[in-house]
Amino acid sequence: MKDKRRYTKLSLLLDKKLGLFEELIKLSRKQTGVIEDENWDGLQSLLDKKEVLMQNADKLEEKLKPITEKIINNYDLNRDNWVEGIQGITEIPENIKSDIKKLDVMIRELKELHEQSVKDIEGKREELNEVMIKLQNGRRANNGYNNTQRIYSTFIDQKS
């Protein structure tokens, strides 16, 4: 009886967490387009929404952790690979196994999307740095040519 209650609670918590992760994935996919368009205000808005969802997921995880720890300990599962280990346990309902597997897949997808976003932002940052360096060099050359205190003729900019 106690296990049934635990599994019911686990199932409800997993359903809520799946919903949060679906929203996180949607926002992460939107984030890719926003970065590409260099819409930094839109990016901040998406990041704020994602932060709220992640905080809610963390709260759910606090409730899930004792239940999953108990399952891991009761069935002597490997902590690093317990998601795979749980699949072979017949006493655990199939819907819970399925939800845990879905969460694992979603977490991996979120990691990939996050890594891609970081790469995209880093690329945009490098592009902006290059443009700023060119602007500074151009301004320096322009200031040198417009200097009225120059006594002799000089070339300040460099040949590319």
- What b/e string do you get for 20-32 counting C-beta neighbours within 10 Å, with b at 16 or more? bbebbeebbebbe
What is the rounded distance in angstroms from the CA atom of residue 21 to the CA atom of residue 107?
8
Hey, where are the domains in the chain? 1-140
pLDDT value of residue 125: 87
Q: Are the C-beta atoms of residues 124 and 38 closer than 8 Å to each other?
A: yes
pLDDT value of residue 158: 59
Residue 1: which pLDDT band, with cuts at 50, 70 and 90? Answer: very low
User: pLDDT at residue 35 above 70?
Assistant: yes
Express each pLDDT in 62-86 by its tens digit.
Answer: 999 999 999 899 889 898 889 898 9
| pTM score | 0.76
pLDDT value of residue 140: 74
Express each pLDDT in 88-146 by its tens digit.
Answer: 888 899 999 999 999 999 999 999 999 999 999 898 888 888 888 888 877 777 676 66
Domain 1-140, CATH: 1.20.58
Express each pLDDT in 9-34 by its tens digit.
Answer: 999 999 999 999 999 999 999 998 99
pLDDT value of residue 149: 62
Q: What is the DSSP letter of 35?
A: H
What is the crossing angle of helices 40-74 and 2-36, to 10°?
Answer: 160
